[in-house]
């Protein structure tokens, strides 16, 4: 457990010091998953196993965990965990052809001030990460990657949630789940517009604000 705590503390320290952690997020996610598999799941298994000994049939237990909320455990009579999941076939997105227009010139010469996003959930909790792109990605994950993908939202002709890395904007696509990439190549204002649409259609109950 201490390894996870140390990992979270290290990332939080970097964020507080203003160090960009964008490049570390994916590596940290993999390390976090490895620690959970090797250190936490065995403890959970040892705890549950004795309680299940009287049971004489196969079953599947689903643990729904959210930080700072009570753990919910659900029982299924199905034998295969895959049967519990509303699985959908995700087609591979075709490559998008982009026109090369050359570098854009800023006529005013002024650089717009950096802004972020803050999302107030209907339960009064707040979703706000250290930058707009990370908050944007986290919000889409919360809304459901597949659900958002089904809305057909695009930016720069690329699916907002795509199954392929775009050859031009791939650097701005974040792998939010294995094989699913969220495009963050947009202004904070455009990110808000897309989140407003997601909020409206999926009835998330968010209040979304642009913050400095």
Rounded to the nearest integer, the mean pLDDT of the chain is 83
pTM assigned to the model: 0.58
Please tell me what DSSP assigns to residue 110: P
Per-residue pLDDT band for 141 (boundaries 50, 70, 90) equals very high
CA separation for the pair 40, 90 (Å, rounded): 31
Token pair 């792109």 in the structure block, residue: 133
The confidence score (pLDDT) of residue 85 equals: 47
Whether the pLDDT of residue 43 is over 90: the answer is: no
* Nearest to 139, CA basis, from 82, 179, 182: 182
Per-residue pLDDT band for 87 (boundaries 50, 70, 90) equals very low
Mean pLDDT for the stretch of residues 181-204: 96
74 Cβ contact list (under 8 Å, min separation 6): 61, 62, 64
Mean pLDDT for the stretch of residues 76-96: 62
120 Cβ contact list (under 8 Å, min separation 6): 126, 206, 207, 208, 209
């Amino acid at each position: 457990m201490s390894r996870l705590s140390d990992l979270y503390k290290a990332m939080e320290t970097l964020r507080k010091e203003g160090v960009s952690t964008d490049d570390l997020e994916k590596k940290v996610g993999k390390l976090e998953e490895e620690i959970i598999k090797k250190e936490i799941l065995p403890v959970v298994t040892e705890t549950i196993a004795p309680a299940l000994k009287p049971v004489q049939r196969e079953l599947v237990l689903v643990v729904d965990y959210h930080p700072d909320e009570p753990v919910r455990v659900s029982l299924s009579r199905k034998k295969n965990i895959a049967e519990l999941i509303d699985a959908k076939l995700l087609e591979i997105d075709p490559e998008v052809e982009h026109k090369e227009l050359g570098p854009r010139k800023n006529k005013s010469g002024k650089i717009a001030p950096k802004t972020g996003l803050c999302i107030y959930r209907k339960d009064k909790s707040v979703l706000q990460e250290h930058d707009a792109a990370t908050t944007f990605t986290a919000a889409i994950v919360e809304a459901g990657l597949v659900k958002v993908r089904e809305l057909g939202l695009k930016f720069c002709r690329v699916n907002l949630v795509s199954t392929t890395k775009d050859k031009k904007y791939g650097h701005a696509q974040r792998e939010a789940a294995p094989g699913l990439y969220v495009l963050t190549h947009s202004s904070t204002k455009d990110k808000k517009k897309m989140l407003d649409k997601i909020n409206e259609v999926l009835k998330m109950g968010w209040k979304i604000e642009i913050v400095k």
